[in-house]
Structure 1
Amino acid sequence: MELVVTGNLVRELRVAENLSQADLAAALGVSRQTVNSIETGRYTPSLALAIALARFFATTVEEVFHVAER
């Protein structure tokens, strides 16, 4: 079984908190380009970064990222 990230709510969560991509990037210790790439689905974050994102938004990884079996 292979799991694939099919989408995420990073942009929606960030906007709801009134944060810019740069603000979120600084809080997570990554570049703004990394945040942009995650939001647009061009980059799937590492497990550590996915957990950091979920913790930052006080939710679970499963709530932030949509995962499907391939």
Structure 2
Amino acid sequence: MGQITEIEQYIIDKVREKRIKAGLTQAVLSVAIDLNPKFVGNVERLKTDDKYNINHLKKIAEVLGCSIKDFFPE
């Protein structure tokens, strides 16, 4: 398992925050973006090398009704 960068952690935290605020479980968000039900949980737990890519973030933003920019620092 590789090292996680500061920006990757920021994005994971922002996605988690918005997911929880929307009342979605990890599995529901995973399926909503057409991925394995365990994907979001794997990303959030940092126990695997699973990470969000730009396409994931675009789909997540659509599902959560926000802008992809909301996942990045100013």
Alpha carbons 1:10, 1:38 under 8 Å: kept = no
CA RMSD of aligned residues (A): 2.4
Please list every run of 5 or more consecutive structure 2 residues that lacks an aligned counterpart in the other structure.
1-6
Pair 1:53 & 2:53 matched: no
Higher strand share: 1
Q: Deviations over 1:18-39 (max 9, x none)?
A: 1110111111111233212433
Q: Which runs of structure 1 show a deviation greater than 3 angstroms over 4 or more consecutive aligned residues?
A: 37-44
* Partner in structure 1 of residue 39 of structure 2: 34
Higher helix share: 2
TM-score (normalised: structure 1): 0.66
Please list every run of 5 or more consecutive structure 1 residues that lacks an aligned counterpart in the other structure.
none
Alpha carbons 2:27, 2:39 under 8 Å: kept = no
Deviation of 1:5 after TM superposition, in Å, equals: 3.8
Aligned residues: 64
